[in-house]
Amino acid sequence: FSVANGQFMMFKRCAYEQIGGHAAIKEEILEDIELSRLVCKHGMKVGMYNLSNLVSCRMYRGFREAFKGLSKSYFALFGMRIIPSLFVWTWMLIVGVYPLFSLLEPAHRLLAFETICMTMLIWFKTAHNYKLPRKIVFYYPLISVVNSLIGFHSIIKGLLGNTSWKGRTISIKKPRWL
C-alpha cells in the first residue's frame, strides 16, 4: 500500500532516477501514488509530512476545474474497482447526511447529535492542521454530497473509458468488479 500527494514531492536525485522518474509512470492517472509505489518497489521508503507551514498549492481555480480534476482521480484511487469504489462513495454520502435527518427522529436524536459533533470535531482538527477556514466545519454535509457525486461521476467516466485531463484523453486500466 502506497500513498502520496503530488502537489509537493521531494526526492533524492539518485532515488528519482533509480525508479525511472515521471517517464516510468507517464500513462498513469495517479502519478503521485504510482511514484510512491515505485519507490517502495525499489526497496526505498516513502514518508508523508504536513508541510503546510512551508508550502502551499492551489490545485484548482474553481468548482468546475476541481470537479473535472477529482473525477479523473477518484475511481483510479480504488484501482478501477467498481464495488469498493461504489461502497466508499455511498458510505461517505450516508455518513455525511444521514445523521442530520436522524435528528428529526426522537429515538435517534442523541446518537445523531453525538455523531454530528464527532464529525465536526474531526473537520475542525483537519481545518486547524491544514490551515483551512474554520467555517469548513459547517459545510461537511455538503462536502460529503459533492465528493460522493464526484466519486460516482468518476466511476461512470471510468466505465465509459473517456477520462481526460488538461485537454488530453488518458488511457485507463480496464475496470473490474473487485
Q: Which tens digit of pLDDT belongs to each residue from 60-93?
A: 999 999 999 999 999 999 999 999 999 999 999 9
Determine, yes or no, domain membership for 118: yes
Nearest to 154 by CA among 146, 25, 136, 98: 146
Distance CA 109, CA 112 (A): 5
Spatial CB neighbours of 136, under 8 Å, sequence gap ≥ 6 = 123, 127, 143
Determine, yes or no, domain membership for 87: yes
Distance CA 157, CA 160 (A): 5
Determine, yes or no, domain membership for 106: yes
Domain that holds residue 134: 63-169
Domain identity same for 113 and 98 = yes
Determine, yes or no, domain membership for 50: yes
Total domains in the fold of the chain: 2
Domain identity same for 51 and 75 = no
pLDDT in tens, 108-154: 999 999 999 999 999 999 999 988 999 999 999 999 999 999 999 99
Domain identity same for 85 and 155 = yes
